[in-house]
Amino acid sequence: MSGSSGPRWTRSASWVVLLIVVAVALGFGASRGGAPPTVTQRVDTIDALVRCPSCEGISVADSSASTAVAIRRAVTTRVRAGESEGQIDAFLVSRYGPGILLRPPTRGSTVWVWVLPPVAVAVAVVGLATVLWRRRRRAEVSVSDEDRALVDRALVDRSRAVARSAEPAPAP
C-alpha cells in the first residue's frame, strides 16, 4: 500500500458517510408530517386513490360519472364521521371489490416489489465501485530488460517483413 492511497481512502470514506447521513436525514424529513390533514385534504387523497367503477383507469377524483360522484359523497361522509383511510378502503372493497383501489394493499410478498429494486441498485453501485477501485489500485507491471529486447526484435523483424513486401517483384 502506498502512502498516497491512505488520504484518498479516507476522502472516499468521508463522502460515503456524508451520503449516508444525507439519505437518513432526507428519509426522516420526508416521513415527518406537518399539521394533520384537513377533511378536504383527506377526502381528496382518498378520492385520488379510488378507481371509478364505470370509467377505464380513472380515479373518482378525476371522473364526473354518477358512480364517481356517489363514491366521493360516501368518502366525504365517512371522513367526517371520523373513519380511518383503512376503514373507508375496506368499505369500498366490500361494496365494489378489490379492483376499486388504485393502490393495492402492501402485504406479504408485495413488499418485496418495493424493497428489491433499491437494494439491487445499491448492490450494483457498490459492486461497480469495488471493481473500479480494485482496477485503480492494481500495481503497474514492471517490464524486464529481456521483455524489452524481445519486443524490439519483433518490431525490427516486422519492419523488415514490411519492407520486403513493399519491394517490387522480380521480372520474369
What average pLDDT does range 36-53 have in this prediction?
88
What is the arithmetic mean of pLDDT over 132-146? 78
pLDDT at 73 over 60: yes
Cell of residue 165, nine digits: 513486401
| pLDDT at residue 2 in the model | 46
Phi, psi (rounded to 5 degrees) for 38: -75, 170
Per-residue pLDDT tens digits for 78-125 = 999 999 988 999 999 999 888 888 876 666 777 777 788 999 999 999
Domains of the chain: 39-100 (1.10.8.640), 107-167 (no CATH)
Taking the C-alpha atoms of residue 81 and residue 11, their distance in angstroms, rounded to an integer, is 57
Contacts 24+ apart (CB under 8 A), 25-34: none
The pLDDT score that the predictor gives to residue 140 is: 65
Using an 8 Å Cβ cutoff, are 152 and 144 in contact? no
CB-CB contact of 75 with 46 (8 Å): yes
Rounded to an integer, the average pLDDT of 56-64 is 87
Percent of the chain with pLDDT over 90: 26
Q: Is the pLDDT of residue 146 over 80?
A: yes
Lowest mean per-residue pLDDT among 26-30, 64-68, 95-99 = 26-30
pLDDT at 154: 94
Q: Tell me the pLDDT band of 38, cut-offs 50, 70 and 90.
A: confident
Mean pLDDT of 145-155: 92
Alpha carbon 5 to chain centroid, angstroms: 31
Q: Which of 1-15, 69-83, 90-104, 131-145 has the lowest mean pLDDT?
A: 1-15
Per-residue pLDDT band at 1 (split at 50, 70, 90): very low
- What are the C-alpha distances in Å from 40 to residues 46, 49, 55, 62, 80? 10, 14, 23, 15, 9
- pTM, two decimal places: 0.47
